[in-house]
Amino acid sequence: MSWLYIHIQKGGTDVKNIKKLKKVMAICGVYSSTFMLASVDTSKIVNTGIQAGGIEYVAPEVIRKSQMDNLLIFTDKDEEILSNYTLISKNNLSQEEYNKLQKDYPELENQDLYKLNKLNKEQKEKLDELITKPFMTLYFIQNEEMANGMKEQMLLNMPEEQKQVMAQMPLIDLIKNMPNEQKENFITEINKQIDEKLGTMVDQAAVQATKKEYTEIGVNTDNIQNRYIILTGLQMIGIALISMIAAVIIMLLSSRVAATLGRILRDKVFKKVLQFTRKEFNEFSTASLITRSTNDIQQIQMLLTMLFRTVVYAPIIGIGGFTRVLARSNNSMAWIIGVAIGAILFIILTLFIVAMPKFKKLQDLIDKLNLVSREILTGLPVIRAFNTEKREEKRFDNANKDYMKANIFVNRAMSIMMPALMFVMNAIMLLIIWVGGHKVDEGIMQVGDMMAFIQYTMQIVISFLFISMISIMLPRASVSAKRINDVLETEPSIEDKPETKEFVEGKKGYVEFKDVSFRYPDADTEILEDINFVARPGETTALIGSTGSGKSTVVNLIPRFYDVTGGELLIDGVNIKDVPQKELRKRIGFVPQKGMLFSGTIESNIKYGNPDMSDEQMVKAAEIAQATEFIEAKEKKYKSEIAQGGNNVSGGQKQRLSIARAIAIDPEIIVFDDSFSALDFKTDSKLREELAKQTAGKTVIIVAQRISTILNADQIIVLEEGKIVGKGTHKELMNNCEQYKEIAMSQLSKEELEDAGGDR
């Protein structure tokens, strides 16, 4: 479950979120407790409300004095029992008290009664222990059928005259007249018979004696039963309401916790991706990073939303249910629960083993689908130009089908889970009824206890079912968590040192390459070797060479998009590895080879490097970049919308806006990476002329393919296969650099070269 701690490991712990988690867990405890209370009340309604007629305790609330006298014959705890009762008689009651009691107890008119004092639950249970066996014995003796049988046994060995006299006497009187030793033996024998016949059901049978006593006194037993069932029912309604409220609160809190975690993860992943260099982008791919930032985090958020509703709640209710089963069952059927849990775990683990590899593949296939979709949508003009729509449709269809097949496999595997688990649950219910029915038939268990056992077992099984429902989401979320962790744990290859240096003000604008070499990560050979030159303030340094000679690589080293692998690159007299990247890039205005604009307006794009710059600075930058002509022609001018990627402007307009954006921040070093290629010669000439006026005192580095762009550069660097093969002005290189001369002759006529001051 390491995914749950991703944000904690990365410093994302929030005290408010910890409090929310505690609240969720506390309310889950309330929620599960209400389920267990509901089961207890169901058992009480069946056992006490229906079978016992609403009578909770064996010790009667009121008992006839004559019956109490008879009951005390069968116990030696006379004083303890009588201390809990008060004798009431119509002779010692006021008329008002008598009228009130006589209405409830009509027999008070004919004889004295004992009324139970106010006792707490513990005292009533203790009194029950004292009175149950004697009361049950008395109930047996007063039962006509049983009494006749016992009397026959007693009279078997008596003389005929005595037998005739004794036969006319009630059995209870016979017992009273017995010698003490014979009486004790007789009571012991009756108790033995009661234990053999009733076993653990003595309490339930004794309640029938209490009910019979109430009937003899004239108490309305139907009212007792109705009152008990109504009160217990109201308790269950209250429990249901508490359960409902707890469930709603759990949903709200768990949703908020999940949403907060999702926000934290998205924030952390995005911030981490912003630190990545091109090396890390190549490792993950843009499509995969988008999937990880959206779909993968969504999987974790969905899981967490359900997690506290089930996984926190389920163990509480499962353990609680199991505890109640063991506490309430005299003859435990706990082995049935063990069978149920074993069957459920077997099903879940089997499906995990089968489906887990597919879940990882599923996320990889989403990456592939996103990649293909992105490529097709980005390259739509090229696809149409070459009439390859059918081929691309087929490529997308293949990626889509692969994803569909994996999804179908996973869903089919998981769809088996619920029917299988429901089969287990119903089979367990039948098993409980079968085993419990025999126990009820044998008098070992009450029907209400069996029903309670079914409910507790179902609670335990359902708690595992809840966990199994999460297991459908867990494998995919686990894979997603690993993928997110891979991003968060990846350290950028280019990082600031713990202790950084400051730039040297005396060498402001100096860019120095000292024996610089470079190779791409995992490459076998150097891309650049022995690069040595200095670009000075107030000068224009140009780089030219054939395709693949390393021009763009050289300028990408300046803002530290890559780190040099050999030698030193100094800016303002300091090795760029020793200064903060943020401070380094503040000094550089970089215009990439491919003009990249952001969705928004022309204004927001030019002010991208400094949103607080004045409109005058923005307009001046646009004028230098020769962009005012097309901007002013637009209806909304600088407020005109720019589509994503700048797709609603031409290539030349895109380049001019990119140049304006770099100039607008007024950097000390301006780098143009082949940024004039989409401009016509006239615009190119005007832009360079204006640039020369406005950038006096700044270091300008230009990568170009066209000789005309760099003819007037103060220093031209000629690259060939990653090495400098020429360095100097246009005139010098025409005289001493064959490679430069070949490029120049291929682009310009002899007359143009002569005008530029070159040697024929």
Q: Give the max Cα distance, the chain.
A: 163
pLDDT in tens, 352-377: 777 777 777 777 788 788 888 878 88
> How much is the pLDDT for 630?
84
Is the pLDDT at 756 greater than 70, yes or no? no
Residue 146: pLDDT band with limits 50, 70, 90: low
Taking residues 535-541, what's their average pLDDT? 88
Between 15 and 640, where is the model more confident?
Answer: 640
pLDDT in tens, 600-625: 888 888 888 888 888 888 888 888 88
Residue bearing tokens 């339930």: 204
> How much is the pLDDT for 15?
45
Is the pLDDT at 154 greater than 80, yes or no? no
pLDDT in tens, 587-602: 888 888 777 888 888 8
CA 615, chain centre distance (Å): 47
Residue 14: pLDDT band with limits 50, 70, 90: very low
> How much is the pLDDT for 594?
79
Residue 6: pLDDT band with limits 50, 70, 90: very low
Is the pLDDT at 232 greater than 60, yes or no? yes
Residue 11: pLDDT band with limits 50, 70, 90: very low
295: Cβ contacts below 8 Å, ≥ 6 apart: 363, 366, 480
Distances (CA, A) of 490 to 368, 477, 482, 483, 580: 21, 20, 12, 11, 20
Inter-residue contact 558 to 571 (CB < 8 Å): yes
Taking residues 550-558, what's their average pLDDT? 87
Dist CA 118 CA 77 (whole Å): 20
Distances (CA, A) of 491 to 277, 350, 479, 580: 10, 37, 20, 17
Say what the pTM is.
Answer: 0.63
- Of residues 119, 18, 15, the one with CA closest to residue 60: 119
Q: Where are the beta strands (DSSP E) in 55-152?
A: 62-64, 85-88, 113-116
pLDDT in tens, 385-429: 888 888 888 988 998 998 888 888 877 877 777 788 788 888 888
> How much is the pLDDT for 9?
40
What is the radius of gyration, based on Cα positions, of the chain? 47
Between 532 and 593, where is the model more confident?
Answer: 532
Inter-residue contact 352 to 471 (CB < 8 Å): yes
Q: Which of 2-16, 120-134, 272-286, 624-638 has the lowest mean pLDDT?
A: 2-16
